[in-house]
Amino acid sequence: MHRLLRLCLIALIALTQTTYAQNSIAIGEFNQEVHTPYTNLHSNDVNSIIVLPNGRIFAGTGEGLEEFRDGEWILLHGGAKVSHLVNDGDILYYVSQNHNQDTISVINLKGKSLSNAPYKSSTTKITSLAVSDSILWVGRTDGIIKVEQGKNTHLDSPGTTPINDISIHDSEIAVATNDGLYIKNESGWEQVLPSNGIQRWAPMNV
């Protein structure tokens, strides 16, 4: 009886292996995604990262402006939280927050620091930043400021604030707000409404 049971089990295992071999699926080669954590930042409060075309990497953290060099993070300017980073060629603009005052500072990435701060906001928080042709576009909780050659111009906004993000392409300006995405054209601000056939909708909290 026990011998018969063993023979049945052996036959069942052999049948299973044969069936598995006949129905096996070949899986092609794929590249594994690898995550490498960097823990030597001066602050784990990372607010903004920018990678330049030449490969240089900068991060705005709770301790200041940092650059990734030779496998480690170097603190370039400390003492104040850096919230936003943008570049225009070799010029890097960043927003630092200190004592409830938001300040935009400038660094020449070729090695010469620019001491002048082109814009300060002592009462209103800076929420976004963009640059095009040396013109700064500053998104705030109350609208948009255009900074050109030291002159600040308060522009009309889409009618909703805060300005969460700004993008500049040629002469076209797009802003993201809590009420959706808006693009400025010759007639004013126009809300972008995605569509699928006859269906259209207004995205919120962009």
DSSP secondary structure of 108-144: ETTSPEEEEEEEEESSS-EEEEEEETTEEEEEETTEE
Amino acid (1-letter code) at residue 194: P
Q: Strands of the chain (E only): list them.
A: 46-51, 57-61, 64-69, 72-78, 81-88, 91-98, 101-108, 113-121, 126-132, 135-140, 143-148, 151-155, 163-169, 172-177, 180-185, 188-191, 195-196, 199-200
Q: Give the tens place of pLDDT for each residue, 152-189.
A: 888 888 877 788 899 888 778 888 888 888 888 777 88
What pLDDT is recorded for position 112?
60
Say if CB 119 and CB 137 are below 8 A apart: no
- Band (6; pLDDT cuts 50, 70, 90): low
Identify which has the larger pLDDT, 206 or 130. 130
The C-alpha atoms of residue 18 and residue 32 are separated, in whole angstroms, by 31
Handedness of CA 89, 92, 93, 94 (dihedral sign): positive
Token duo for residue 200: 């259209």
Q: Which residues pair with 59 in a beta bridge?
A: 49, 66
What pLDDT is recorded for position 21?
45
The C-alpha atoms of residue 157 and residue 45 are separated, in whole angstroms, by 30
- Work out the mean pLDDT of the chain and round it to a whole number: 78
Other beta carbons within 10 angstroms of residue 135's beta carbon come to 13
- Band (20; pLDDT cuts 50, 70, 90): very low
